[in-house]
Amino acid sequence: MTFNELLALDKVSVQVASVPRPATSRKTRKDGAHHQASNHDPVAEPTAAAIQKTKRTRHREAEAPRYHATMTPTLLKGLRQAVRRIGKEAATYRFAREEKDQLAETIYAQRRAGIKTCENEIVRIGLNWLIAEHGARGEKSVLARALKALRA
């Protein structure tokens, strides 16, 4: 993913669709009895201002799932900043032929989708994600579990 594409991901906003309720002044309780809706009734029709306030509050307070390894906006922002910096340290790593082939296939698929990328960019994204995820999850991280599995 190029820097511009990562930047575009941060600009995407999540919109919550509102479902209008039927306009009635009478509500039915669980026991079947009817009662008149009032301003203090919790099941009364919400006002347009209340709906907008709820949408804004819900959007700001959105949290990432606790028990899932997900790409949060904070993680994407960190990856974008890390990959954006030009790497000046030269390094040579050994990959298996299958790994290089899979990397080449990934680059080819991204280019067919209109995304120009390179091996260096993909490897840096993967490395920075592994480090960030390990810092956040510790012994439950993918890196820690993979290293334990290698030593078993």
For the chain, the domain total comes to 1
- 12 in a structural domain: no
* 112 found inside a domain: yes
**pLDDT tens digits, residue range 2-32?**
666 655 665 654 444 444 555 555 555 555 5
Domain span holding position 116: 71-151
The answer to the question of residue 64 being in a domain is no
Would you state the pLDDT for residue 56? Answer: 56
CB neighbours of residue 104 within 10 Å? 11
Q: CB of 99 within 8 A of CB of 106?
A: no
| pLDDT, tens only, 24-40 | 555 555 555 655 554 55
Structure token pair of residue 145: 């579990």
Q: Give the pLDDT of residue 81.
A: 85
Q: Decide if 128 is inside a domain.
A: yes
| Under 8 Å between Cβ of 32 and 25 | no
Query: Among residues 108, 127, 142, 121, which one has the least CA distance to residue 6?
Result: 121
Band (pLDDT 50/70/90 cuts) for residue 138 is very high
The larger pLDDT score, comparing residue 129 to residue 10, is at 129
